[in-house]
Structure 1
Amino acid sequence: MSTPPRPARARFSTAVGAVSVAALLLTGCSTAEPESNQTSQTPVSGGNLVYATGDAEPTCLDPHVGGNYPQALVSTQYLEPLVSLNDDGKIIPWLATDWEEADDGLSWTITVHDDVQFTDGTPLNAEAVRANIEHLKDPETASSTGFLALEKVTGTEIVDEYTIRLNLREPDSALMESLSQPWLAIQSPTALERSKAENCESPVGTGPFIVDEWVKQNSITLVRNEDYNSPPADAGHKGPAYLESITWRFIPESASRYAALQAGEVDVIDNAQPDTIAAAGKNDSIEHLNAPRPGASNRIELNSSKPPFNDPLVREAFAHSANVDAGISSLFFDTAERSYSPLSSVEELGYEDPKLFTYDPEEANRLLDKAGWDQRDAQGYRVKDGKRLSLEFPVSTNQSIPAEVSLFEQIQATAKEVGIEINLNLLDLSSWYGALAQNNYDLVSAPYTKVGPDVLRILYHSDGIVPAPSGYFANLAQVDNPELDKLLTQASRETDPERRAALYEEAQKLILEGYYILPLYDQQNHFLYRSSVEGLRALPTVSTPTFYDVWLNR
């Protein structure tokens, strides 16, 4: 496919094209439930909000280091990116006021606010942005998410005190989407000069809150930034946050989190379980915020780099052996819908083909016979050349909710009926990463959150088999398909919306028809909160909650 002519250069400026804040606040939400809890009452300043998370406690509060969702959840409160998204998915200002792509697509020029300071007194300027780009790309930082998002950036140029140019090795249609993510948030260059350990303890940003204290395995205390003046363009107010402080507690056990919420000991909980959500619907004092994450769908990835899944017939057979629909129906209490796409339903360019993933044991048996797995051992499992058809499935207990683990167990049971053995190994996060690094897996469920369809390039381009500096590699299905590589590379360069959509559709067809993945459902993001919590919303970027506009009505 030839490269089409490039359209006129893209430009955004707060001076000439910004939608008013009032109009943005009236924009309808695209998710199933409202994105915020707003009333007509006058907000009250003060108070401490208690947030209880069930996600893994970060090992570092600097999301540049590594780059996982627990870091994004908490760092959203004290760090800010250059841009954000509105509810329609359009890029809007945050720390940046203006951005412009060069005619050849090989650079972006970005201007930041001239009146913003980090909470250590360091000014926000072009040099600060440069320091952050260099920090993310430095192998010593051990970034994964941020490093992969900036892999096309080759260097920077300071245009003037508040303007920087990012130079690229090739056009990147997803760059501004990437820069909206919390893993690329801008930190004080002065603070970044500290040791990694010190910066991990208390990153310094421009956000509405400041990291005051981190008591490991217990809580993080965030206090209000009294000088705050840099909200995103769609924020509900200006000036400092209403809340005086936030206590960010770590409560891994879901029943304990919900009990604390019911008792009024905490104000907001995340990782609400399906049965808990159903129960909360009967409680007038508790509200529900449903904010599915963008990027990839929740899916099981099939390691195509080694037997038995280097055989596409076996991959297809496994897909037909899994009774996913029945599991979701029985376990998720209508809080999740079956996905047939590599992309979250939040992404507009998702493509699906349900007929590829029907539960069909008869077809699974036929395919396994055809692939040469036509004998069975005494336990009923398929055998070929004296070896059992056995699959290793490491599962991170930090990333998988109980209902999801139960779903994996049901898939294990239906696969057994056609002669496939699945060894479910429940591991802590560190051991899970170790299993991936050693290529000791055949199946894996690994959530990956990213704004925009370019997540497909990160997850399924063969370049993604090579580890990032952090040691993590994103292409866990280990897809090595030149045709797919070409489509994903072209799509990442393409700025024409229709051509870009067509390229991503073709890429998704190859991924699905190759049975490299078994799609399950959207990445779940359910928050329950006391009805006294006003103004809570999830950012339209990666669906993390923001407490800047929140106040306590009690």
Structure 2
Amino acid sequence: MILDPVQKTPALRRIVTGVASAATVLLAVAACSGGGSPSDSSTPVRGGTLTYASGDAEPTCLDPHVGGNYPQALLATQYIEELVGLDDGEPTPELATKWSTSDDGKTLTFTLRDDVTFTDGTPFDAAAVVANIEHVQDPATASSTGYLALQSIEEATATDDRTVTLSLSRPDAALLESFSQPWVGMESPKALQRKQATNCESPVGTGPFEVTDWKHGDRVTLTENADYTPLGDSTTKPRLNGLTWRFLPDSTSRYAALQSGQVDVIDNAQPDQLRAASSKAAIRDLDAPRPGASNRLELNSGHGVFQDESVRKAFIAAAEIDPGLKSLFLGTAKRSYSVLSSVEPTSYSDESLFAYDPSEAKRLLDAAGWKTNSDGAREKDGEPLTVTFPVSTNQSVPAERSLFQQIQASEAKVGITVELEELDLSSWYAALAENQYDVVSAPYTKVGPDVLRVLYDSASITPAPSGYFANLAQLDDPALDRLLEQAAQTADSSERADLVEQAQKTILESRTVLPLYDQQNHFLYRSAVHGISTTSVSTPWFGTAWLAR
């Protein structure tokens, strides 16, 4: 099977159709609307520096191959590009112009562009692609997201300067989707030869901007790549002189800076701030829900009290979610009953499994031998029914943490004690790696339904080289493993969708997952900002953005 897709402009290629299309259309239309004010200018303006303020954790490394979390993707999108893009779920050319898959599905061959150069002057070629794949797969890199995405690749070979051949251990229907993600984006092989600490400070890509300075705890400075080669058939060079990427963890301060014009774009906006935004106001909302998994609680079935399915069922029945979701998120988040994001066309849900029923929770706990003591708490053989719930303060907004507290209160009503432990990001990762949790909220972004294999195949209980393991529910089900393996190897879209639905049904019925809502991904921006696009993983891309002020 040979695929030679029609090339598209970056603006179209980078729109995540069905995810952020409405918001992206809004951004495009804003540049052409009337009214005569500077923010309504239809003519792109060159120059100026866009200031972005992030409430996410400051990355410990700017190379997204290392580790591989969402804060890295937000930044890396601006200076690193991928082999393929996605348009309406279909792979499109970026640094690769075309690709072919062997009849047995175990060989993938890419043909590459021959006119692209990294910002350190190194040519982009087949040898560079091989070096990047080997870097992601090298245990010393300590990759998690990228490593798990490329597990099927046994060997990468530069057949000639423009051709890369990948030999796979199995057919991998999700591999092209995976190559659209920044965690496996292309970096200069010359730069990768530096010490990891050096490359973490200033990774080198082919994108519209390059990293020129990192003042830890404050900001990253990115400068226009004057030699940028636009992808697709576009001829648009970067319009901005650069980006200033600030780290402002306090949501109130971040929003105040946006209102005053000190910054142009912010993430992790609060529900009341989102409600105040409008397509006609000075501050507007780009709503770009992430693909992959929903925002959910994982119940650790391999450790502690949740090894007992009855206790898992009781915890889920006692979790009162809807009132808090409504009052805290002010209509900006909709309840999910699926393990997949609603933007995934294969998303399957079953509301009946997650009804709030404290009487049923009490019955299940009584039957399992957990008796109520004089304080109203459950205990068994002298041991209290305590659930450890570490929460990363860097990965959740205040409304979400308040929702966790409301769940904690509803669990207490049936005698389950939930201990919420607020930790910084590194301590949170350490708690997971050391299996010191019973329940956890662990957002995970990966394009397409193959995220289920990453999160719930029993092989994912084994840590990646980074030490992070993705199967936090520690779900160990051979029948589920077979379904996920079949889905990963099936090229037929209809058959794959059926297998994915069966897998989701199995996961939900295991009672190891409590879905909450889609991963929130809102970006507020000033009306003077135009031309933002979004990527396959719903990060904003400023390669064609401009400022009218």
TM over 0.5: yes
Q: 1:152 to 1:543 in 2, by over 3 A?
A: same
In 2, Cα distance between the equivalents of 1:442 and 1:398?
Answer: 20
Deviations 1:394-418 (A, max 9, x none): 0000101110100000000011111
Cα gap change, 1:225/1:445 in structure 2, threshold over 3 Å: closer, same or farther? same
Residues 22 and 534 from structure 1, CA distance in 2 versus in 1: closer, same or farther, beyond 3 angstroms? closer
Unaligned segments of structure 1, at least 5 residues: 1-8
Q: Which amino acid aligns with 1:452?
A: G
Alignment partners' CA distance in 1, 2:326 and 2:335: 9
1:309-358 Cα deviation digits (max 9, x unpaired): 11111111111100111111110011100000010111111110001001
Partner of 2:345: 348
Contact 1:119 1:204 in 2 (8 A): yes
Aligned amino acid, residue 61 of structure 1: L
- Which residue of the other structure, out of 308, 321, 330, is the alignment partner of 2:318? 321
Q: Which residue of 1 aligns with 2:90?
A: 90
Identity across matched positions, percent: 58
Query: 2:11 and 2:119 mapped to 1: Cα distance?
Result: 28
Query: In the TM superposition, what is the alpha-carbon distance from 1:31 to its structure 2 partner?
Result: 4.2
Q: Which of 239, 243, 251 matches 1:242?
A: 239
Equivalent position SS for 2:211: strand
Distance 1:28 1:154 in 2: 32
Q: Deviations over 1:3-34 (max 9, x none)?
A: xxxxxx3x3214xx446779879996554732
- Cα distance in 2 between the residues matched to 1:25 and 1:462: 33
- The 1:22/1:392 distance shift into structure 2, 3 A limit, reads closer
Query: Residues 347-400 of structure 1: CA distance to partner in whole angstroms, max 9, x if unpaired?
Result: 111110001001011111111112221x11122011111111110000000101
Look up the match of 1:140. 140
Structure 1 distance, partners of 2:235, 2:495, is 39
Shift of 1:239: 3.6
The verdict on how the C-alpha distance between 1:219 and 1:238 changes in structure 2, with shifts beyond 3 A counting, is same
The C-alpha deviation readout for 1:47-81, integer Å capped at 9, x for no partner, is 11100000000000000000000000001000001
Equivalence for 1:254: 251
CA distance in 2, matches of 1:32, 1:115: 30
Tell me the secondary structure at the aligned position of residue 350 of structure 1. Answer: coil
Instruction: Find the counterpart in structure 1 of residue 154 from structure 2.
Output: 154
Mean alpha-carbon deviation: is it higher for 339-348 or for 306-315?
A: 306-315
Structure 1 Cα separation of the partners of residues 302 and 510 of structure 2: 13
Q: CA deviation at 1:176?
A: 0.4
What is aligned with 2:291? 294
Matches within 5 A, 1:44-123: 44-86=45-87, 88-123=88-123
Aligned to 1:360: 357
1:543 maps onto 2:538 in alignment: yes
| Equivalent residue letter for 1:279 | A
**Residue 5 of structure 1: aligned partner:** none
Counterpart of 2:122, as a letter, is: T
For 2:472, the equivalent position in structure 1 comes to 476
SS in 1 for 2:375: coil
Q: State the shift of 1:538 in Å.
A: 1.8
C-alpha distance in 2, partners of 1:28/1:445?
27
AA aligned to 2:22 is E
CA distance in 1, matches of 2:226, 2:236: 8
Q: How much does 1:42 deviate?
A: 1.6
Q: Provide TM-score, normalisation by structure 2.
A: 0.95
1:280 Cα deviation from its structure 2 partner: 3.1
Match of 2:38 in 1: none
Letter in 1 for 2:414: V
- 1:307 CA drift (Å): 2.8
1:84–1:232 CA contact under 8 A, matched in 2: no
Partner of 2:304: 307
2: CA distance, partners of 1:418 / 1:204: 54
Letter in 2 for 1:46: G
Alpha-carbon deviations, 1:177-205, whole Å to 9, x = none? 00000000000001111110110010011
**For residues 270 and 20 of structure 1, what CA distance do their matches in structure 2 show?**
26
1:219-239 alpha-carbon deviations (Å, 9 max, x no partner): 111010111113356xxx524
Taking structure 1 as the reference length, what is the TM-score of the superposition? 0.94
The change in CA–CA distance for 1:409 and 1:386 in structure 2 (over 3 A counts) is same
Q: Distance in 1 between matches of 2:327 and 2:540?
A: 29
Within 5 Å, give how 1:445-484 maps onto structure 2.
Answer: 445-484=441-480
Distance 1:499 1:424 in 2: 42
**SS of equivalent to 1:506:** helix
Change (3 A) 1:551 1:186: same
SS in structure 1 at match of 2:442: coil
**1:169 is matched by which residue type in structure 2?**
S
- Using a 3 Å threshold, how does the CA distance of structure 1 residues 545 and 516 change in structure 2: closer, same or farther? same
SS of match in other structure, 2:108 = strand
- How many residues are treated as equivalent by the alignment? 537
Distance 1:20-1:47 versus aligned 2 partners, 3 A rule:
closer
**Structure 1 pair 103/178, CA: closer, same or farther in 2 (3 Å)?**
same
Matched residues in 2 for 1:178 and 1:204: separation? 20
Matches of 1:307 and 1:214, distance apart in 2 = 42
Letter in 2 for 1:163: T
Q: Which residue of 1 aligns with 2:35?
A: none
Instruction: Quickly say closer, same or farther: Cα 1:310–1:256, change in 2 above 3 A.
Output: same
3-state SS in 2 of match to 1:451: coil
The DSSP-based 3-state class of the residue aligned with 2:45 is coil
